[in-house]
Structure 1
Amino acid sequence: MLRTRLALAATVCATLAATFTTPPAASQSAPPTATAESARGTLPSGARYLLREPERWNGTVLVWSPGFSGSAGGEASASPSDPVATWLLSQGYALAGSKPATAGWAVEDLLRDQDDLAEVVADELGEPRHVVAWGASMGGLTSVALLQAHPDSFDAALPLCGSVGGAVPMLNQSLDATFVLKTLVAPGDDRLVLTDVSDEAQRQAAFAEVLEEAQQTPEGRARISLAATVGQIPTWTQVGSERPAPGDLLAQQHQQYAAFLWGAVSPRQPLEERAGGNFSWNTGVDYARQLAGSETSGLVRKLYAAAGLDLRSDLAQLAAAPRISADPDAVDYMTRNATPAGDLTGPVLSVHETGDTAPTVGQARTFADRVRAAGDAPLLRQTFVDRPGHCAYSDAETAALVTTLHERLTSGRWGPSTRPAELNRLADRIASTSDLDRGIGRFADAHPRPMLRL
């Protein structure tokens, strides 16, 4: 057991502090005694890790990567929630996770640390049968990147709400939205910094002020919708709200407005600091074409007509506006560390909410297109939960996803397991035989368009 092997960790870690806990009672489907042992320690980089061993290990370890954090260091977690961790341990999974010693867009650090953590797992538990990389948001991107960067250490990936299309297209998408807004609404406002950000808080506050003012007029609302549309922000984004009716233009636009700051004016400074410069560009971008390719172009045209604005005139103004170039070295850094190429060495099951804006659901399609181009489409399955929000999966949904991927690893085939009806039945069954919350969402078919920017 893990308790007797802690001394071995000294050869891998700079320091080691171990604690042993017993989780709450597990589900009705758990073994009679589903106790677990836990250990915390430090990786060579200074990152903290957590390793949890079930009483009866099934041979699979799940390595959790965290999302973006504004704070450095701290203790690691090994799952998205305590109830999920308890249930997974009761099913025999070992759980591991690390927390980078640095803050911000720490994908590069996680690619190193999680590989080191996989070695700790093997030293402590013995050689795993399967190692699954999983995580949420930035951690979802990291899980796919780990499979690509360390195929000898990781056998599969489960990215939850991950920016699997990569940071480069995600921030190009954000640049498009902010460029359109500034050019058409506040071209002379130097506070609306688009790239090379030195004061993120000031930038965010300035965009919030300009957005609020523009939202008060029909002309401003139409231009906000145009900016949101080229950034592919959907029309149902707010958790707890009803889906706007197809003909309710104002409600749809308000959903775009409410998500704009979160979805388009996303924190750029910490990413640029990681990359060593600006890695976004809009040279050569035709915004009339961007509008035509977006799913919500019809909404923009109707709002412009209602406001008495000339859409062609605004598009001409965008076409004439000076463009922004990227630093090639910064682009190279983000491409290497945060933009998966699509060549898979093991199965990947991804999940996105259709109303997410960070990332937008088009990331799923862009990643799928890359995987298909690499000839690895049989290894990828994607599913969606039809609701707004970011990483708001219920515990039963998460458990169903882990179970489905694990069955793919053990059987070697997907079968019908990733169809929405099958995933919903599995989540329902898990919720009915455990303490895991089912939530109100449902897995659903979705066919998102690819990202407009790559």
Structure 2
Amino acid sequence: MIFFIPLSSLNVLADYEEISGALPDGTAYQISVPDNWNKVLIRDLDFVSNMLGPNVDRVRGLLQNGYAVAGTARHALRKWQYDPAHEIGNLIQVQNLFVEKFGKPVKVIQYGFSGGGHVTLATAEDFSDGIDGAVALAAHTPVWIMNSFLDGWFVLRSLISQYYVDEGYGPASDLQYINLPNDNDSATSGHGMVGPIVEAWQKAFTAAYNSPGGRARLALAFTLGEWSPWLADDTPRPASNNPDEIATSIYDSVMRLAGSPGGEARIIFENAAKGQQLSWNDNVDYKSFYENANPAMKRAVQHLYEEANVDINSDFDALDNEPRISASDYALEYWNQPGRTAKGRIKIPVMRLHMLGDYQIPYSLVKGYTDLITENNNDDLYRTAYIDSTGHCNFSAAESLAAVEIVIKRIDSGEWHDTDPDSLNDFANSFRTNSPARFMPISDWQVEKYNRTWAPEAFGTAQ
């Protein structure tokens, strides 16, 4: 189906031609080409939904600046059949449809958010034929993210459940974070949950926060999970040198996380591999994980434990004595396939953006991937930047357009534009999108080492 739509109705300055339809598997796709097309195609996993939802300004910014955009929607059965490798295949089909109708673009940029960010990294590594550069925003990597969430939730369950029990709310078994109900009543979308499990966690978190020892243990869980202490919208970012602000922010944050026990979208990730567990901690030494944590978070933990007069080593001993969780070999074999994981072996220029306060995907994943990039001698192909914001995928039009333009400049010149926060903010503001530029330094919050990098040497071997 072909439409001619005036971009003036979207507060931009040109017309564009639109083609939409469905791929053979039922996935919706859309292609939009402005009259002032600059011969660059942006390939976006979530283009269909981005044109309809709150992120439409980002699309407007691209179209207004002459970029054609083509992509898909998430499949209706994604909750049960998530497969990023298949999603990449769908994007290849859409690109082929684009070429049939509009001819071969001069450049193609893979671009995406969240799951689309993962698809972007995987494309840059293993499906880069016909792709010139990539912009990955809020990218997850499935096994990594679920292990990072497992660590924090394991600590919460181990050290916080007693506050729930002592208040008379019920047994510790109420506080589930794995083997979650896989039904449409409690987990409609596969992302968050509703019902008694969420309510139990909320009660446990509040009971813990009302105790000095509980506040210390909440902070320890965030520190071991390498989670940001700032995840709740409409709250101030805590000062990295103020343990009390960090403790308050952690409580606000953990109450937001209560709606996704075990980590955002755990049910989707487990369903992908036939319901098999992709997370493990049966070989984890949490005391060594603590040494890798962000220094500001460690200082806050130390302060809060001293204030509560609680011995942190006794809590590490308690963690050592808790039953651990093992991953399914089947699940790890599933995820260790091209398109389903990322190993830092990029073949094209990539710029990666992440928000410090992303509640769905811990910002610390970026550090792990950056270290893999260095191990693979790919530093010259890769740049990162962080956004001073909470939420998930709420990058502004200015920020995302700046990232695209920087990758284009890298492709054309072989050199990277300056990517320090001040330079990025100046560059983003130059586009006059009437949206904010919020690039920030990460130094105060950077982890020493990301604890959950998973990159088996070969595909098909779940090491």
Question: Aligned residue for 2:218?
Answer: 224
> 2-side partners of 1:173 and 1:152: how far apart?
32
Report the counterpart of residue 267 of structure 2 in structure 1: 269
Contact 2:133 2:408 in 1 (8 A): no
Corresponding position of 1:8 = none
Residue 221 (structure 1) shift: 1.4
Could you tell me whether the CA contact under 8 Å between 1:155 and 1:345 is conserved in 2? no
Q: Is the 8 A contact 2:230 2:253 kept in 1?
A: no
Identity of aligned residues (%): 26
1:176 aligns with 2:151: yes
- In the other structure, the counterpart of 1:197 is 180
Are residues 20 and 206 of structure 1, via their aligned partners in 2, closer, same or farther at CA, if it must alter by over 3 Å?
farther
Cα shift at 1:281? 0.3
* CA distance, structure 1, for counterparts of residue 236 and residue 50 of structure 2: 36
Per the TM alignment, residue 445 of structure 1 is displaced from its structure 2 partner at its CA by 5.4
Q: Tell me the SS of whatever aligns to 2:8.
A: coil
Partner residue in 2 for 1:139: 116
Check conservation: 2:42, 2:108, Cα contact below 8 A.
yes
2:45 counterpart of 1:59: no
Moved more, 317-326 or 284-293: 284-293
Q: Quick one: distance in 2 between partners of 1:80 and 1:142? A: 21
Which residue of 1 is the match for residue 6 of structure 2?
22
SS at match of 1:430: coil
Is the partner of 2:278 in helix, strand or coil? coil
Question: What is the alpha-carbon distance in structure 2 between the residues aligned to residue 63 and residue 81 of structure 1?
Answer: 16
SS in 2 for 1:317: helix
Question: What corresponds to 2:331 in structure 1?
Answer: 330
Q: What CA distance in whole angstroms lies between the structure 2 residues aligned with 1:82 and 1:267? A: 24
Structure 2 counterpart of 1:84, which letter? Answer: R
Check the 8 A contact 2:227/2:363 in 1, yes or no: no
Bigger mean CA offset, 287-296 vs 354-363:
354-363
Task: Provide closer, same or farther for how the CA distance between residues 265 and 254 of structure 1 changes in structure 2, counting only shifts above 3 A.
Answer: farther
- In the TM superposition, residue 85 of structure 1 has moved relative to its aligned partner by 2.5
| Separation of aligned partners in 1, 2:124 and 2:331 | 23
Alignment deviations for residues 387-435 of structure 1 (CA, whole Å, 9 cap, x no partner) = 4333222221222111111122222321x4323232222112112xxxx
Q: State the distance in 2 between where 1:253 and 1:230 align.
A: 15
Query: When the two structures are aligned, how many residues end up with a matched partner?
Result: 421
Residue of structure 2 equivalent to 1:14: none
Question: In 2, Cα distance between the equivalents of 1:330 and 1:77?
Answer: 34
**CA shift digits 1:64-116 (9 cap, x unpaired):** 1239xxxxxx8674997333323322322111110132233452331221111
1:3 corresponding residue in structure 2: none
Corresponding residue to 2:441 among 427, 440, 444: 444
On the 8 A contact 1:236/1:256 being kept in 2, the answer is yes
What does residue 424 of structure 2 align with? 423
TM-score, scaled to structure 1? 0.85
| Alpha carbons of structure 1 residues 44 and 76: separation in structure 2 relative to 1, 3 Å | farther
Equivalent residue number for residue 293 of structure 1: 292
In 2, Cα distance between the equivalents of 1:167 and 1:66? 18
1:37 lines up with 2:14 in the alignment: no
Q: Is the 8 A contact 1:115 1:153 kept in 2?
A: no
One-letter amino acid matched to 1:52: S
Separation of aligned partners in 1, 2:229 and 2:347: 36
Superposed displacement of residue 159, structure 1: 0.7
Structure 2 counterpart of 1:82, one-letter code = V
Deviation at 1:252, TM superposition (A): 0.7
1:103 aligned to 2:87? no
Q: 2:457 maps to which residue?
A: none
Q: What are the Cα deviations for residues 316-343 of structure 1, in whole angstroms up to 9, with x where unaligned?
A: 1111112111001101222324321111
Q: What CA distance in whole angstroms lies between the structure 2 residues aligned with 1:75 and 1:349?
A: 23
Deviations 1:112-168 (A, max 9, x none): 2111111111111111111111111121111111222322132221011212xx111
State the AA in 1 paired with 2:340. Answer: A
Answer whether contact 2:263 2:360 (CA < 8 A) is retained.
Answer: no
Aligned equivalents of 1:365, 1:393: Cα separation in 2: 19
Name the SS of the counterpart of 1:338 in structure 2: coil
Alignment RMSD? 2.5
Residue 202 (structure 2) aligns with? 208
Structure 2 partner of 1:113: 90
2:244 paired with 1:250:
yes
Is 1:156 matched with 2:133?
A: yes
Deviates more, 1:262-271 or 1:299-308: 262-271
Q: Tell me how far apart the structure 2 counterparts of residues 39 and 126 of structure 1 sit (CA, whole Å).
A: 14
Provide the TM-score with structure 2 as the length reference.
0.84
For residues 401-420 of structure 1, what are the structure 2 equivalents within 5 Å?
401-414=403-416, 416-420=417-421
The alpha-carbon deviation at position 207 of structure 1 amounts to: 2.2
Q: 1:268 to 1:440 in 2, by over 3 A?
A: same
Native 8 Å contact 1:64 1:79 kept in 2: no
**Distance in structure 1 (CA, Å) of the matches to 2:202 and 2:4:** 46
Contact 2:344 2:373 in 1 (8 A): yes
1:84 equivalent in alignment to 2:58: yes
- Could you tell which deviates more after superposition, 361-370 or 17-26? 17-26
Q: Which amino acid aligns with 1:162?
A: A
Q: Secondary structure at the match of 1:212?
A: helix
In structure 2, give the amino acid aligned to 1:386: D
Aligned counterparts of 2:312 and 2:49: Cα–Cα separation in 1: 52
Task: String of CA shifts for 1:366-394, please: whole Å, max 9, x gaps.
Answer: 11111222222211111122343332222
The one-letter code matched in structure 2 to 1:302 is: H
What's the counterpart of residue 7 of structure 1?
none
In 2, distance between residues paired with 1:83 and 1:356?
Answer: 20
Q: From the superposition, tell whether residues 356 and 298 of structure 1 become closer, same or farther in structure 2 (CA, over 3 Å).
A: same
